[in-house]
């Protein structure tokens, strides 16, 4: 018995030092330490694959690929065309620029696409019209009816001489098998996996760090991003209860920066396969006319300590004077973001949170509900969308600031996943985001304070909340 106690004590000390050196937030560190102590054998295995946040080798590889990339001169050329930021928004523009290194830009067109059907139709039409290249990056790309139709079209364009590059997350798109890769490559397209999940050295530490980005770039001139993955589950023409989602279509110089995110991810993924990068960067990053709408691409991931998307959300909420309308399918707030929301409501800002009544993760749904009473008590209006699974990721702040993209309002998107969003400045597009928010509220139910719940439901919600730092 004494020997076991000594072994366990030594284990706790060694594992504790290992976890402490990760320099996580104190709550997350304590959560992991408790998990390791309670379930030492299983816990250490889980932490080995999912716990470490620092991607030192991956960060160095990514920076190395960025330095050696032949697109550096093209990116430098683009930076010479940075427009003047609106006076009232200079601080948030500076924050995005400093934390992501992507400058403010403009768009000739910013179109809100609501639902998978509208998004897929628009993307397919743009791919059909491609003259030079088609670039796609997705977390989930299913080989179902929707996915196979797009794969067939990509192969057709590749056979016609169009450069086609498809990058998918190895875990999120695990159903996309070798036969799908082979068919694309046989047609002349290029294919790559982000963080292959093979057993061995590669399985850790990259297993827990996924590309959650959804990016399509056509000829360097048309770009798409948002919440919609390539799957039948997003299309109501196929499934009556399809996810309710939102995407954005962009034209103009801002597409160059969305393209830059893709090209950096592509170079990083190719480094695993030791293949060469594209060489025609002037064609991939063309000179494009400036537009009337001021926008900015914002990317973040675990290869940077900046947590850019997290920072900008918190800053924007803190800076709000009239309204903060937030839509997210997964609401697991960090301490700073929770304080920002409640402080804004206490200051008299109209803070509305729209989440799904039931998400596709029971644990996340329970964790989200554990925060509702605190939010409502501070004046936040909480709504649960009832028509289907809500998957949109948008935020409207006052009249002049909006965010749409791939990031959920949770720890995973803020700190673990590779994400991308578009920040929109000005009234035009943000009025569309606000109008859609109002439409979505018509299919939602407002949550009341101290709503009736069984003891077991309250217990489960509270237990799920303990997992918040790990989700």
Active-site residues: which are they?
A: 212, 214, 219, 391, 393, 398
The count of other CB atoms within 10 Å of the CB of residue 214 is: 24
Which residues lie closer than 8 Å to 170 by C-beta, 6 or more apart?
193, 194, 195, 196, 197
One-character DSSP codes across 164-195: EEEEEETTTTTTS-HHHHHHHHHTT-EEEEES
Q: What angle do CA 147, 413, 150 make, to 5 degrees?
A: 10
The count of other CB atoms within 10 Å of the CB of residue 273 is: 10
CA distances from 361 to 160, 330, 331, 343, 393 (A): 42, 9, 11, 28, 16
Find tokens 């969003």 and name the residue.
Answer: 421
Greatest Cα-to-Cα distance within the chain, rounded to the nearest angstrom: 75
The count of other CB atoms within 10 Å of the CB of residue 393 is: 24
Is the CB of residue 136 less than 8 Å from the CB of residue 216?
A: yes
In our burial notation (b when 16+ CB lie closer than 10 A, e otherwise), range 284-313 reads bbbebeebebbbbbbbbbbbbeebbbbbbb
Spatial CA neighbour of 206 closest among 310, 414, 53: 53
Is the CB of residue 218 less than 8 Å from the CB of residue 130?
A: yes
Question: What's the rounded Cα separation, in Å, for the pair 307 and 304?
Answer: 7
Spatial CA neighbour of 383 closest among 374, 392, 372, 393: 372
Q: What is the DSSP letter of 468?
A: G
Spatial CA neighbour of 227 closest among 36, 420, 47, 84: 420
How close are the terminal C-alpha atoms of the chain, in Å? 36
Could you tell me the sign of the dihedral formed by the alpha carbons of 418, 320, 228, 252, in that order? negative
In our burial notation (b when 16+ CB lie closer than 10 A, e otherwise), range 92-116 reads bbebbbebbbbbbbbbbebebbbbb
Helices (H), 220-370: 254-273, 281-284, 308-319, 335-346, 362-369
Strand 293-300, strand 105-107: pairing: antiparallel
Question: What's the rounded Cα separation, in Å, for the pair 21 and 6?
Answer: 23
Question: What's the rounded Cα separation, in Å, for the pair 220 and 347?
Answer: 43
């Amino acid at each position: 018995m004494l020997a076991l106690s000594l072994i366990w004590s030594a284990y706790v000390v060694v594992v504790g030092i290992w976890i402490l050196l990760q320099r996580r937030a104190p709550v997350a560190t304590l959560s992991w330490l408790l998990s390791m102590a309670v379930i030492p054998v299983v816990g250490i295995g889980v932490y080995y694959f999912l716990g470490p946040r620092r991607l030192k080798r991956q960060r160095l590889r990514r920076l190395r690929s960025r330095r050696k990339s032949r697109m550096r001169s093209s990116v430098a050329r683009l930076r010479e065309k940075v427009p003047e930021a609106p006076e009232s928004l200079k601080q948030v523009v500076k924050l995005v620029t400093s934390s992501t290194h992507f400058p403010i830009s403009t768009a000739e067109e910013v179109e809100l696409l609501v639902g998978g059907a509208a998004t897929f139709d628009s993307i397919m039409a743009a791919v059909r019209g491609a003259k030079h290249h088609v670039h796609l990056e997705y977390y989930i790309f299913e080989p179902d009816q929707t996915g196979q139709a797009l794969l067939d079209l990509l192969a057709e364009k590749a056979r016609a001489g169009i450069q086609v590059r498809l990058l998918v997350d190895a875990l999120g798109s695990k159903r996309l098998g070798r036969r799908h890769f082979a068919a694309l490559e046989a047609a002349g397209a290029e294919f790559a996996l982000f963080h292959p999940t093979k057993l061995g050295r590669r399985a850790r530490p990259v297993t827990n760090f996924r590309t959650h980005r959804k990016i399509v770039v056509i000829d360097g001139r048309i770009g798409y991003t948002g919440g919609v993955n390539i799957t039948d589950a997003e299309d109501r023409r196929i499934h009556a209860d399809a996810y309710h989602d939102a995407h954005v279509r962009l034209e103009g110089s801002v597409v160059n920066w969305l393209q830059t995110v893709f090209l950096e991810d592509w170079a990083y993924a190719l480094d695993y396969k030791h293949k060469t990068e594209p060489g025609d960067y002037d064609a991939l990053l063309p000179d494009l006319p400036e537009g009337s709408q001021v926008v900015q691409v914002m990317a973040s991931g675990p290869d940077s300590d900046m947590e850019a998307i997290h920072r900008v959300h918190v800053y924007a909420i803190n800076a709000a004077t009239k309204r903060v309308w937030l839509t997210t399918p997964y609401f697991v707030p960090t301490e700073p973001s929770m304080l920002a929301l409640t402080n804004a409501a206490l200051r008299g800002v109209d803070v509305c949170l729209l989440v799904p009544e039931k998400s596709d993760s029971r644990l996340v749904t329970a964790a989200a509900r554990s925060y509702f009473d605190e939010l409502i008590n501070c004046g936040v209006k909480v709504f649960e969308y009832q028509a289907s699974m809500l998957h949109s990721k948008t935020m409207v702040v006052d009249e002049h600031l909006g965010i749409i993209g791939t990031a959920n309002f949770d720890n995973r998107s803020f700190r673990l996943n590779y994400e991308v969003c578009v920040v929109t400045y000005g009234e035009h597009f943000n009025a569309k985001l606000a109008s859609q928010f109002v439409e979505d509220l018509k299919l939602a139910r407002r949550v009341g304070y101290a709503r009736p719940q069984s003891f077991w439901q309250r217990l489960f919600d509270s237990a799920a909340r303990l997992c918040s730092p790990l989700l």
